[in-house]
Chain A
């Protein structure tokens, strides 16, 4: 099974900050990497698929990059509605999620 490791597990940031979340796979997964956002008490929402393709309706301040084993989700200018938990998920084989990164208000 492929293990997904996210870092950090949590971070504090201010509105307008640039935020970067990393995700590492235990083996190469090509570009088969998706990112989801989950707000408290809600279902997850797809942000990015295939490592860098923005899902329809997702603001352009979200950007995904990487391939192989190392991936990054960047929020260029954090907005109030972006305070949430973010998960990566590999779709190279049987799906697995990272442990999540909680983005909190500083």
Chain B
């Protein structure tokens, strides 16, 4: 059974940093690209970032480019999102997701989400 378990969310001040983690199990981690998708309170879904199965290619939404860094550790089957220079508009539930970056791809599994609140 595929499981994606996020952690690391919380309250942070504007300009601060946070690192999200996503522990993956139930599939061959290095075979699949992984994504982060966020959802601001009461709003729709926004794709944030993705990384190839090997980790050699990374992709970012314009809204986070230069501030967020996605990475993965195949030895720990874990996906990360390092978030720097956080802004109020980054407040959202962040979902870890399997798949979702290459042409024709789709997200077939999602984590339960972790809430990030940026506020003073």
Contact = CB atoms under 8 A, between A and B. Distances in A.
Interface residues of B, number: 24
Nearest to A48: B106
A72 interface: no
**Is chain B's interface secondary structure helix, strand, loop, or mixed overall?**
loop
Contact of B47 (A45, A55, A95): A95
A94 B47 contact: yes
**Is chain A's interface secondary structure helix, strand, loop, or mixed overall?**
loop
Q: Which of A50, A55, A97 gathers the greatest number of chain B CB atoms within 10 Å?
A: A97
A95 B112 contact: no
B108 A43 contact: no
Nearest to B45: A97
Contacts of B110: 43-45
A99 B103 contact: no
Contacts, number: 57
Interface in B85-116: 95, 100-108, 110-113
B35 interface: yes
Interface of B: 35, 37, 44-47, 50, 59, 61-62, 95, 100-108, 110-113
Nearest to B101: A95
Nearest to A4: B44
B97 to A, nearest CB: 8
A34 B106 contact: yes
B45 A46 contact: no
A55 B99 CA distance: 14
B100 to A, nearest CB: 6
A89 B111 CA distance: 18
B95 to A, nearest CB: 6
A50 B104 CA distance: 7
5 contacts: A34-B106, A45-B110, A46-B106, A50-B106, A96-B47
Contact of A46 (B35, B102, B104, B107): B107
A98 B44 contact: yes
Given A43-B95, A49-B106, A100 B101 contact: no
